Amino acid sequence: MAEMEIVDSPAAPEQNDMEVDAAETSGGVSLPASTSQRQPITVEKAIPYTFDLGHLLANDASPLPPNPSEELLTSTARDAAQSLINQLLTTCELNSTSDGIAIMLPTTSTPLPREKSVPAEKEPTKWERFAAKKGIKAKRNDERANKVYDEEKGEWVAKWGYKGKNKDGENNWLVEVDEKKERASGEAGDVRKENRQERKDRVKRNERRMRANEKRAGKAG
């Protein structure tokens, strides 16, 4: 549901029945006397209005006479606006917020024309046709697709790459020495360096396998 905010406007000063003197006007022309008669809030119509509150729309089916006067048009527009406001305040939910009072507008019921024509359906690409034929589904494109939960940090981290989970232990300032390796080699090994080298070797092996697969695919093609 949409919201419409009601903003309080400052009260207009009361206007008394008076005639403005010509000397007090900038153009030197006297203005006619104005009346401040308050118009009724309720509007009586032989043909009732129909509303689409979601669009803030009031439909008046009452016909107007040929060549209507400006006063008649103004009065008709005023009555329609007053009826729309009455309908909003009596049928819609009101919510009080820190910014003021908001009216919860209902779902629209009047279809509006499109500004542009409906776009034509795109032809599937060669890959999309192949994937549909082989039953290949697209991978997830959410933020956790290539992430893993780190229990120690209490957050989702990347599986590889910058600050990846596969680099755990390579930047620790303190590591435990393997006594068996130390006795066998006669010197203490650096676990961080070994882990880093093992990860790099694994990347190289994967690259060799990928190139070999590409060669086999090229021969088969």
Question: Highest mean pLDDT range out of 3-7, 59-63, 186-190?
Answer: 59-63
Which residue carries 């403005």 as its tokens?
20
pLDDT band at 79 (very low <50, low <70, confident <90, very high): very high
Q: How far apart are CA 199 and CA 193, in angstroms?
A: 10
Average pLDDT, the chain: 77
Residue among 170, 167, 187 nearest 178 (CA): 187
b/e per residue 108-144 (b: at least 16 CB within 10 A): eeeeeeeeeeeeeeeeeeeeeeeeeeeeeeeeeeeee
Q: 14-23, 31-40, 108-117, 188-197: which has the highest mean pLDDT?
A: 108-117
Residue 30: what are its φ and ψ, rounded to 5°?
Answer: -75, 140
| 82 pLDDT higher than 80 | yes
Whole-angstrom CA distances from 87 to 1, 9, 56, 63, 96 are 16, 20, 10, 22, 19
Q: Return d(Cα 81, Cα 87) in angstroms, integer.
A: 10
Domain ranges of the chain: 37-108, 140-168, 170-221
Share of residues in the chain with pLDDT > 70 (%):
70
pLDDT band at 60 (very low <50, low <70, confident <90, very high): very high
Contacts 24+ apart (CB under 8 A), 198-203: 199/166, 199/167, 199/170
